Chain A
Amino acid sequence: MNRHLGRLLVLLAGLAVAGKLAADEPAATSFPRTRISEDERDHWSFRRLNPGRVPAAGKSRWGRNPIDRFILARLDENGLVPSGRASRRILVRRAHFSLLGVPPSPEVIGQHETDRSPSAWSDLVDRMLASPHYGQRWARHWMDVARFAESGGFEHDDDRPTAFHYRDFLVAAFNRDMPFDRFVAWQLAGDELAPKDPLALMATGFLGAGVFPSQLTEAEFESSRYDELDDMVTTTGVAFLGLSIGCARCHDHKYDPIPSQDYYRLASAFTTTIRGEVTTRAPWHSTDQKVLVTSEGLPKLKHHADSRGFPHFYQQTFFLARGDVHQKHGAADTGYLQVLVRPGTSTSHWQVKPPADRKRTSFRRASLARWMTDTERGAGHLLARVIVNRLWHHHFGRGLVASPNDFGTQGEHPTHPKLLDWLAQRLLDCGWRLKPIHRLLLTSSVYCQNGRADGNRQDRDLENRFWSHRPRRRLEAEAIRDALLSVSGRLDSGMYGPGSLDENSRRRSVFLKVKRSRLVPTMMLFDWPEHLVSIGRRANTTTAAQALAFMNSPVGRGYAGSLAERLPADPGRAIVRAWQLALGRTPRADEQAAVMVFLERQEHIYRRAGRSDPIRTARVDLCQALLGMNEFIYVD
């Protein structure tokens, strides 16, 4: 009797509390509930887009598009003037690398240099955007963000032989200019949103691309499942929203308004989500293929611990105190980050009802995707900011927000908040298509500036925060390797299909297989990520080991040999051609003179050493030196 009364009281008390909360809050739980204050909602990245007006044109004749007017306004405020336009040759090279990741052929440069049409530049940008190389370049950027790899890591690092289809999805999606909101939604829930579309299924590889132990004991079953959910939540948060949601696993986020309860409600969207395989056929395949997907209700993939009874997933996700599976505080039902939910909006607003004939999945991920891409009441505005910033980051070397994976309170402030918002709004106006944004960036005068930082700019804009000039940038690992392949005439531009671990492969680096225990050594030398966690900005180091690779690696020497074979017999003409192919320009007189002396000396050394083909060897040596030049891997 007493016990019953007590229970009733608890129930009533619970109802009373619940009555004060928003209607969609989870059922009674002892887990702490933290509300987000108005102040916390006011952090710049959580606010709705506010592009304001494009600044007036002013007197300056510099500047061709709205981006430039935003930039110019800030330069003006700081007593700076922009730099002049770089030469056509430099611009072709710059844009080829930042948009396509391969150098332009001498012919493409020549063509542009002589194109007198007033739209020569924008025509060239359009041609580049139509090139299949574009998707290969930008897919690779997204692979960093998605911590994508083709093996499971941990003890056995078992291969995921059907995982590469996710990479192929990325290449195709960028090339087709898939609207970014769909690009995001399909990575979260392509299997629910467009189950008949092979690309949508391939896209779901995103959630399942993380590491997972291959060996488990009973004591680890549940905690490793929570680790897996954590990988999904964390990567989703960082990749799409630039938020470190993962920090809220053990306690409320220390800096950002992300309570632990939001973390578990988000994690609950993935409760029954596991890796699986389906058979489908991408448009470029002639036969059906097995594709690794992340979905629900599919047969479980084999796991070493199956014989021990490893369940792969549990029916519910619980609120965990301190992230500890032994401290459960009630089941979490799916919900979203409060700070990115417009006050007064219920979680059910985004709920996608499963069609009557599709009971295999829960449609929680489809609902999550809806919230994520909702610019009115959900997270869409932040999603747009984060992606336009990534574009800026890769084209300019640093984002308008210098921490592309952190838009939280600990991240960098945007140097140009209005411009960022204007670009994000523009993305929405363009139906979430990225190519128009690329076009805007590349046809701006700020992109086309030359690199000279004179005294004034050095003093007032030491770190180029106002974009008063264009600093030189080193190419990333893939672009270096792809440039070597391209210049040596070895590049195989075949698309799609399984990747390779072989450094001698002639395909673009995006098709190198990413196996976590055997990361391609040369890529690692040039700051390739470890593909374990999302990376928004790679490191950029200069080491002796990199130089050793240029000097001694057999693969590198092979590139030099192939380049030498492309050159005409006459030494003078050979030098000119080598410079054109490798650097996109003709050699200066002093360079030509130095090289002539070098070739003579080198031939002499080899003759004295009794080498069989001194002339050829000397030429290969020259080509190798050329490929080692700063100018080869630093782009103006």
Chain B
Amino acid sequence: MTTSHVSPRASSAASSAVFGGEIPLPAPAWSRVTRRVFGHRGLAIGLVLVALAVLIAIFAPLLAPHDPYHQDIANRMVPPVWHDKGSWTHVLGTDKLGRDTLSRLLFGTRISLTIGLVVALISGVIGTTLGVLAGYFGGRVDAVVSYIITTRLAMPVVLVALALASLTGGSLTTVIVLLGLLLWDRFAVVSRSVTQQMRDAEYVYAARTLGCSLPYILLREVLPNIAGSLIVVMTLEMAHAILLEATLSFLGMGVQPPLPSWGLMVAEGKAYMFFQPWVIAIPGIALFVLVLAINLLGDGLRDLNAPGGRN
């Protein structure tokens, strides 16, 4: 038994110094983290589906039963296999030019994932740079960046992207560049506020006192600490970019035929949807499932990032 001593203060302060006891909570361990990953149903589903999509994109040439660009005029608008007139030759049927829908769908995964990934990278670099600078320096830099963000938010993305894509003659590359230049706002907003909270953190202060150079502080101290939030934003922006590409392509100003963009496939099937609804249902569901999976992954990561459950 030991008796520790407390310097004299007001009685309430002294007695609250005595009462240090808190109900002990189990320490976070790796087993808890893994349990939360797999205990989180949404995150697990999202993870599995996204991994599946990545595998499909990589191995599309091996998986696809047909050449996605091969036109077979004799076999146009073949219904999917579960339909009375369907056959196993074209599991998901063919389109108006006789191209195999399943093969186009599998190759379309490449387009959607490429768009999502590259757009998120471009907009991530732009947005994070702006956000970190604004959050770290504050003052005038912050005012300017905030103004740019406000302005960007007021621009109608779909309209501006449509107009610019039309002018530059829509292609996969232009769509990627355009969306990359347009979708950085959330990166900027999030990295700005997280950096702001961190600017006064002790380790950043310590690095400053030690005379570390600014790029060093930003890259080595600030960036790793906002990475968690950025990954969450990244998944959300990937989903956003994939949906926007599909929308642009659907409206005829995005990815151009004969590329198997899912949005384009819906547009091409639109004329037939009244009697052969599967032509729009199949690519639409593919799009929905991919975006859903990425969103589930993002939501799950956010929950892991912020303990306290899904709120």
Do these two chains really belong together in a complex?
A: no
